[in-house]
Structure 1
Amino acid sequence: MSSIVIDRVDADDTTLECDVSTSADLERFFSDESFRTTYDVPIEDVPEGVLVIPVLAQVCPVAWANGADVYVDEVDATFARALEDVKASLLSMYDFLEGGTLYAKETIDADPESGGESGLLFTGGVDSTCSYVRHREEEPTLVSIRGWTITPDSADDENWNHLRSRVSSFADAHGLDTAFVESNMLSFLAHPMLLAHYKRHVDGAWYSSVGHGLGLLGLCAPMAYARGMDDLYVAATHWDGIDLEWGSRPDIDDHVRWAGTQCHHDSYDLTRQERLDAIADYVREEEPDLQLQTCNDRMDGNCGECEKCYRTAVGLRLSGLEPTNHGYPFADEDYREIRTALEEGRWILGQDEKFMWEDIRERARETEPSTPEEAAFFEWIDQADLDELVSESAPPLSHRLLRAGARNTPTRVYNTVYPAWASAKSGLRRVRSGR
Structure 2
Amino acid sequence: MFNRKIIEIDKPIFKNNVFFYNISTTYDLDKYFLKKDSFIDYIDVKDDLSSVPEGISIIPVLCNILPVSWIMDATIFIDELDKTFFESIKAIKENFSMMFPKIEFKGRLIVKKIVDYDRIFMEDKYMPFFSGGVDSTFTVINNIDKKPILASIWGSDMPIDETEGWKNLSNIINQFSKEFDLEKVFIKSDFRELLNIRKLNEEILAINDNWWHGLQHGISIISHGVIYAYKKQIGNILIASSHSTRDLEERGVEVIPCGSSPIIDNYFKFSNCKVIHDGFDFTRQEKIGKIVDYVNTNDKKVYIKVCWESISGKNCSSCVKCCKSMLGILAEKQDPNLFGFEFDESILDEVYEKVSNPENYGVYWDINKGNYWKHIFERFQEDPEYWKEKKNLKWIFDLKL
Tell me the TM-score normalized by structure 2. 0.89
Is it true that 1:349 corresponds to 2:363 in the alignment? Answer: yes
Output the amino acid matched with 1:149.
D
- Matched residue SS, 2:12: strand
Cα deviation per residue 1:147-174 (whole Å; 9 max; x = unaligned)? Answer: 2321222xx1111111111111111222
Which position in structure 2 is the counterpart of 1:290?
302
CA contact 2:348–2:393 (8 Å) conserved in 1:
no
Which position in structure 2 is the counterpart of 1:390?
none
Which position in structure 1 is the counterpart of 2:22?
19
Output the amino acid matched with 2:76.
V
With over 3 angstroms needed to count, the CA separation of the structure-2 counterparts of 1:61 and 1:341, relative to structure 1, is same
Q: How many equivalent residue pairs?
A: 380
- Matched residue SS, 2:119: coil
CA contact 1:297–1:306 (8 Å) conserved in 2:
yes
Output the amino acid matched with 2:21.
C
Which position in structure 2 is the counterpart of 1:5?
8
Alignment partners' CA distance in 2, 1:221 and 1:144:
13
Q: CA deviation at 1:204?
A: 4.2
Alignment partners' CA distance in 1, 2:113 and 2:301:
52
Which position in structure 2 is the counterpart of 1:83?
89
Is it true that 1:121 corresponds to 2:129 in the alignment? Answer: yes
With over 3 angstroms needed to count, the CA separation of the structure-2 counterparts of 1:55 and 1:21, relative to structure 1, is same
- CA RMSD across the alignment: 2.1
- Matched residue SS, 1:20: strand
Q: CA deviation at 1:293?
A: 1.7
Which position in structure 1 is the counterpart of 2:213?
208
Output the amino acid matched with 1:133.
I
Alignment partners' CA distance in 2, 1:301 and 1:34:
31
**Pairing 1:70-109 to 2, within 5 Å after superposition:** 70-94=76-100, 95-109=102-116
Which range is displaced more, 186-195 or 130-139? 186-195
Cα deviation per residue 1:108-144 (whole Å; 9 max; x = unaligned)? Answer: 1113343542111111111111111110011111111
Which position in structure 2 is the counterpart of 1:372?
390
Which position in structure 1 is the counterpart of 2:228?
223
CA contact 1:91–1:99 (8 Å) conserved in 2:
no
| Pick aligned residue for 2:400 from 356, 361, 383 | 383
| Pick aligned residue for 1:66 from 72, 90, 98 | 72
Alignment partners' CA distance in 2, 1:37 and 1:288:
33
Cα deviation per residue 1:367-399 (whole Å; 9 max; x = unaligned)? Answer: 32523325413134x237xxxxxxxxxxxxxxx
CA contact 1:213–1:248 (8 Å) conserved in 2:
yes
Alignment partners' CA distance in 1, 2:268 and 2:139:
18
| Pick aligned residue for 2:158 from 144, 150, 160 | 150
| Pick aligned residue for 2:148 from 140, 153, 178 | 140
Give structure 2 stretches of 5+ with no counterpart: 249-254
| Pick aligned residue for 2:37 from 26, 34, 38 | 34
With over 3 angstroms needed to count, the CA separation of the structure-2 counterparts of 1:203 and 1:143, relative to structure 1, is farther
Tell me the TM-score normalized by structure 1. 0.82
Which range is displaced more, 296-305 or 271-280? 296-305
Cα deviation per residue 1:264-309 (whole Å; 9 max; x = unaligned)? Answer: 1110100011101111220121035332221233344322222112
Alignment partners' CA distance in 2, 1:202 and 1:163:
33
Question: Which portions of structure 1, spanning 4 or more consecutive aligned residues, are displaced by more than 6 angstroms?
Answer: none
Alignment partners' CA distance in 2, 1:203 and 1:178:
36
Alignment partners' CA distance in 2, 1:109 and 1:171:
35
Q: CA deviation at 1:246?
A: 1.2
Identity of aligned residues (%): 25
Is it true that 1:309 corresponds to 2:355 in the alignment? Answer: no
Q: CA deviation at 1:247?
A: 0.8
Is it true that 1:193 corresponds to 2:199 in the alignment? Answer: yes
Which position in structure 2 is the counterpart of 1:407?
none
Alignment partners' CA distance in 2, 1:64 and 1:317:
44
CA contact 1:336–1:373 (8 Å) conserved in 2:
no
**Pairing 1:238-257 to 2, within 5 Å after superposition:** 238-240=243-245, 241-242=247-248, 243-257=255-269
Which position in structure 1 is the counterpart of 2:251?
none
With over 3 angstroms needed to count, the CA separation of the structure-2 counterparts of 1:85 and 1:108, relative to structure 1, is same
- Matched residue SS, 1:124: coil
